[in-house]
A and B are shown apart, each in its own frame.
Chain A
Amino acid sequence: MKKFIINTIKFLFFASVFYVLGLFAFGYFLTPSFLKGNINYKQGGYGHLYTRLKEAKTFQDVDLLFLGSSHTYRGFDNRIFTKGGYSSFNLGSSAQTSIQTNILLKRYLDLLHPKLVVYEVYPGTFSSDGVESSLDLMSNDSMDFSDLSMALEINNLKVYNTLFYDLLREKLLTNTFVEDKNKELDTYISGGFVSKEMKYNSSPHKYKNLSRSWELKDIQFSEFEKNLEMLKKANIHFIFVYAPVTSNLYESYKNNQEFDVKMNAYAEKYHTSYINFNGKLKLNDSLHFYDAHHLNQQGVEIFNTSFIDSLKKIDLNSEFNDALDVI
């Protein structure tokens, strides 16, 4: 029995070392992506996160900081806000859930020191397990202890594998990666926005007649609240924005109201505003979007201009305790 337990422990140690080294070998030397399995490491993947985070280190004391999913980095155009008189940085990332927002805030909030955080809230990210966005973040930012706590929180094998692989990469290799600012139809704009070449939504009826519900996850709300507490502690104002999606996509969910109620409750608790832009603006599913989730440049102009009009009502230099529910 003793021999069995000792040998089992020895084997587990051997297998752990083999696993970590094997993971690195598989990830680094096996070029075909279909063989990489549960290692999902992609520097400079979809959404220019690598460039955005590199650039974030060079920005300071902005008026506005945008947080959220691809609706953020494809929906808030820094150029329009600059014209409107606001300096800004866009810290959105693909499918960003509150778990990743938490890490980004820990890493970049002090540096960017915004006057107002525009927290883009989308029920899809509140219903997500956060795997996709954590892989994106791990691959495109330097590692620290918060990556491990994020992995433990998400508890998914893909996240653990990518974490170990990323750790070894950072320790063993020099990072020579340079991300191209232009990728297919996308162009990275300084400040974090990703501009898509003008395009119209070719399937505006894609979600018509669908009837489904968001399965909102408690863990995402508790992380969301942690982020709000962090901002409050730093004396930074925030507001919640539900960016526009196509009306067909929006209406395909039966429980939008449940989400609105939750967000309004948070807005009330923190004396701020929640603006759901769906149905508020005159947007056409085909003309102002390039797909069901994302506005095209014409749509972005309409959305951002309307949002800036709302922002004008806020005094960004006021203390946190002053209510922002004026919009």
Chain B
Amino acid sequence: MLFNSLDFAIFLPIVFILYWLLKKQLKAQNFLIAVASYIFYGMWDWRFLFLILFSTVVDYTMGLCIEKSAEKSKKKIFLWISILVNLGFLGYFKYSNFFLENFIGAFQFFGQEVNFRGLDIVLPVGISFYTFQTLSYTIDAYRKKLKPTKDFIAFTAFVSFFPQLVAGPIERATHLLPQFYKKRKFDYSLAVDGMRQILWGLFKKVVIADNCAQFANQIFNNSGDYSGSTLVLGAVFFTFQIYGDFSGYSDIAIGTSRLFGFDLMRNFAFPYFSRDIAEFWRRWHISLSTWFRDYLYIPLGGSRGGMWMKVRNTFIIFLVSGFWHGANWTFVVWGGLNALYFLPLLLQNKNRNHIEVVAYNKNLPSLKELLSMGSTFVLTVFAWIFFRAENLGQALSYIKGIFHRSLFKIPSIIEDCEHVLLLLIFFLVIEWLGRKNQFAIAVFNAKFTRPLRWVFYSLLILIMALYMVTEETPFIYFQF
């Protein structure tokens, strides 16, 4: 089920009302969440529910085994069973064809002829997300950061929690699981805030992302036909598409969770207002970056052990993060490119220069801030070309197409996309005004009276009705 579908618009109020009717029965509420989540996921493909259920049973059991085992070596075995099962599924469904193709390619490179037909594997939606979430459970149980649960229903609800099941935020068990044990009380202001965040997330998805997608797809799919300037515009459109799409999904997920009394971690913090790449990565897909920090970077030694170790570990994190996004070398190059952007800051120890939000006590940025934001944005846009391209060849020819004398021509599609450019300006102004908040339109909560707020929210709905793309479009991150 998609958040931007009529099905979800019917599903959510029904689950919401049933849930709060059960307010005094915690177990029943958790059971309802688990059932609703399985329906939510099953409407895409019910067969893969068995995969989630299997993963849930394995991690639940391993968690208890880890707790019961007295010896560390046994604990370690149980942890590895969980890791192997989860990563085994992920590897099989997501990476089998990639590895097979590359092995065959390597054989062919050395003159060996191999007959190969790709495996016909359907990638289960959201597998990369819920796999990492359940892994955080067994790893933290092993590290004694949390006490494994005996409540199977709560654990099932935690693994399959529908707002964030298919595209995150990737929650830490230490943060989300305890919320399933606590009695939830309906909180009016939390629920209203959730509705606001859902509204803003929907706006980002159906207006910004989907409109940008139309032009980004058109330009990337026919890149040979366009001028350098149009190709730049295509990359910029993709930059906003992916942000609107993914952060929009996260906003809807967080907002929906609030309606049920849950607090999910923040996933985006206005990344395109970053002044350097390090700041960008503290603001982009925060739940994944911090997952890799906690479960990969730190175990690898983190920043201990001198500069060489720091550099090595940073590169590993970026490359693995790229590969996590998909079984394609384009994602690996995208990760590597970001590592290269990061490197000078790391070497000069300037990777924590910008912690506060830009222009914190001002309305507008200084010229220096503007230039830093602009240069970071350009680097990001360039890297997204690899992320969007079908393969490395297409990415390289796209880039070659940009650096052509037609770069200085007016983009040929400018007249067709004028409305999208205006929508982007409107969007950026709102994002800028709300940059100190959890999500942009939260800023109006304090500044506007209720009638004005309602006018503004209604205006957002009207803009959605006027400019949303009428075909239902899935979220990009579903494929990861």
Tell me the B186-241 residues at the A interface (CB within 8 Å). Answer: 186, 188, 191-192, 195
Q: Are B462 and A23 in contact (CB under 8 A)?
A: yes
Known contacts A4-B191, A14-B454: A38-B467 contact under CB 8 Å: yes
Q: Is the CB of A18 within 8 A of B468?
A: no
- Knowing A4-B186, A34-B419 touch, does A15 contact B458 (C-beta < 8 A)? yes
Set B20, B419, B457: member contacting A1, Cβ < 8 A: B20
Check if B446 is an interface residue, CB within 8 A of chain A.
no
- Find chain B residues with CB under 8 A from A4 CB: 186, 188, 191-192
**Cβ contact of A15, chosen from B188, B418, B461, B470, cutoff 8 A:** B461
Chain B residues with Cβ below 8 Å from A26 are 462, 466
Q: Which residues of B contact A1 (CB under 8 A)?
A: 20, 186, 188
Within 8 Å CB of A8, what residues of B? 195
A51 to B311, CA, bound (A): 73
Per DSSP, are chain A's interface residues mostly helix, strand or loop, or mixed? Answer: helix
| Docked CA distance A1–B20 (Å) | 8
CB pair A38–B465 under 8 Å, yes or no, is yes
The answer to whether the Cβ of B459 comes within 8 Å of any Cβ in the partner chain is: yes
Chain A residues numbered 1-46 whose CB sits less than 8 Å from any CB in chain B: 1, 3-4, 7-8, 11, 14-15, 18-19, 22-23, 26, 34-39
Q: Is the CB of B470 within 8 A of A157?
A: yes
Q: Are B195 and A37 in contact (CB under 8 A)?
A: no
A158 at the interface (CB under 8 A from B): yes
Quick one: closest B residue to A159, CB to CB? Answer: B470
- Contact partner, B465, options A7, A36, A131, A157, Cβ 8 Å: A157
Contact A35 B422 (CB under 8 A): yes
Residues of A within 8 A of B114 (CB): none
Residues of chain A with a CB closer than 8 A to B186's CB: 1, 4
Judged by a CB distance under 8 angstroms, whether A101 is at the interface is no
A272 CB-CB contact with B under 8 Å: no
| B122 interface residue per 8 A CB criterion | no
A19 touches B418 (CB 8 A): no
A131-177 residues with Cβ-Cβ distance < 8 A to B are 131, 156-158, 161
Q: Which residues of chain B have C-beta atoms less than 8 A from A18's C-beta? A: 455, 458-459, 461-462
Establish whether residues B470 and A19, one from each chain, have CB atoms under 8 Å apart when the complex forms. Answer: no
**Chain A neighbourhood of B418, CB < 8 A:** 34
Considering only residues 27-81 of chain B, those with a C-beta below 8 Å from chain A are none
Q: Mark B443-480, 1 if CB is under 8 A from A, else 0.
A: 00000000000110111011001111010000000000
Chain B residues near A11: list those with CB within 8 A: 454, 457
Contact residues in B for A34 (Cβ distance below 8 Å): 415, 418-419
Distance (Å) between the CB of A127 and the closest chain B CB? 15
Interchain CA distance A166-B213 in the complex, whole Å: 30
- With beta carbons under 8 angstroms apart, the residue of B191, B458, B466 that contacts A161 is B466
In contact, B419 and A35 (Cβ under 8 angstroms): yes
| Across-interface contacts of B192 in A (CB, < 8 A) | 4, 7
What's the nearest-Cβ distance from chain A to residue B302, in Å?
45
Q: What residues of chain B lie closer than 8 Å to A157, measured between beta carbons?
A: 465, 468, 470
In the assembly, what is the distance between CA of A37 and CA of B422, in Å? Answer: 12
Per-residue CB contact flags for chain A residues 80-121 toward chain B (1 = under 8 Å, else 0) read 000000000000000000000000000000000000000000
CB distance from A15 to the nearest CB of B (A): 4
Q: How far, in Å, is A187 (CB) from chain B's closest CB?
A: 29
The reply to whether B458 and A22 form a contact with Cβ atoms under 8 Å apart is yes
Partner of B468, one of A7, A15, A38: A38
Closest B residue to A22 using CB positions: B462
What is the CB-to-nearest-CB distance from A128 to chain B, in angstroms, rounded to a whole number? 14
Give the distance in Å from the alpha carbon of A168 to the alpha carbon of B418 in the complex: 28
Query: Smallest CB-CB separation from A131: which chain B residue?
Result: B470
| Contacting pair A15 B457 (CB below 8 A) | yes
Whether A156 pairs with B458 at a CB distance below 8 angstroms is no
Are A19's CB and B419's CB within 8 A?
no
Interface centre among A19, A22, A37, A158 (most CB of B within 10 A): A37
User: Do A37 and B419 touch across chains, with their CB atoms under 8 A apart?
Assistant: yes
Question: Do A158 and B470 touch across chains, with their CB atoms under 8 A apart?
Answer: yes
Docked Cα-Cα span, A11 to B454, in Å, equals 7
Question: For residue A15, which residues in chain B have a CB less than 8 angstroms away from its CB?
Answer: 454, 457-458, 461
Contact between chains at A19 and B468 (CB < 8 Å): no
Report the minimum CB–CB distance from A173 to chain B (whole Å): 20
**Assembled-state Cα–Cα distance A56/B29 (Å):** 62
Residues of B within 8 A of A35 (CB): 419, 422
Nearest CB in chain A to that of B23: its residue: A1
CA distance A34 to B211 in the complex (A): 13
Chain B residue nearest to A39 (CB atoms) is B466
Query: Once the chains bind, are B465 and A14 in contact (CB under 8 Å)?
Result: no
> How far does the alpha carbon of A22 sit from the alpha carbon of B465 in the complex, in Å?
10
The 8 Å CB contact of A22, one of B195, B457, B459, B470, is B459
CB of B208, distance to nearest CB on chain A (Å): 14
Least Cβ–Cβ distance between B200 and chain A, in angstroms: 15
Contacting residues, chain A, for B191 (C-beta < 8 A): 4
Flag B329-357 by CB within 8 Å of A: 1 or 0 each: 00000000000000000000000000000
List chain A residues, Cβ under 8 A from B188: 1, 3-4
- In the assembled complex, the Cα of A246 lies from the Cα of B333 at a distance in Å of 48
B339, chain A: closest CB distance, angstroms: 41
CB distance from B320 to the nearest CB of A (A): 41
Residues of B within 8 A of A158 (CB): 470
Chain A positions within 8 Å of B465 at CB level: 19, 23, 38, 157, 161
Instruction: Name the A residues within 8 Å of B195 (CB-CB).
Output: 8
- Return the chain A residue nearest B466 by Cβ: A37
Q: Do A38 and B470 touch (CB < 8 A)?
A: yes
Interchain CA distance A96-B103 in the complex, whole Å: 54
**Chain A residues within an 8 Å CB radius of B419:** 34-35, 37
Bound CA span A7–B415, Å: 42
A172 to chain B, nearest CB (A): 18
Task: Give A1's nearest chain B residue, CB to CB.
Answer: B186
Extra inter-chain contacts (10) besides given A22-B462, A23-B466, A34-B419, CB under 8 Å: A1-B20, A1-B186, A8-B195, A15-B454, A15-B458, A35-B422, A37-B419, A37-B466, A156-B470, A161-B466
The 4 closest A-B pairs by CB, nearest first: A37-B466, A18-B458, A22-B462, A15-B458
Q: List 5 A-B contacts (CB under 8 A).
A: A1-B186, A1-B188, A14-B458, A18-B462, A37-B419
Interface of A toward B, CB cutoff 8 Å = 1, 3-4, 7-8, 11, 14-15, 18-19, 22-23, 26, 34-39, 131, 156-158, 161
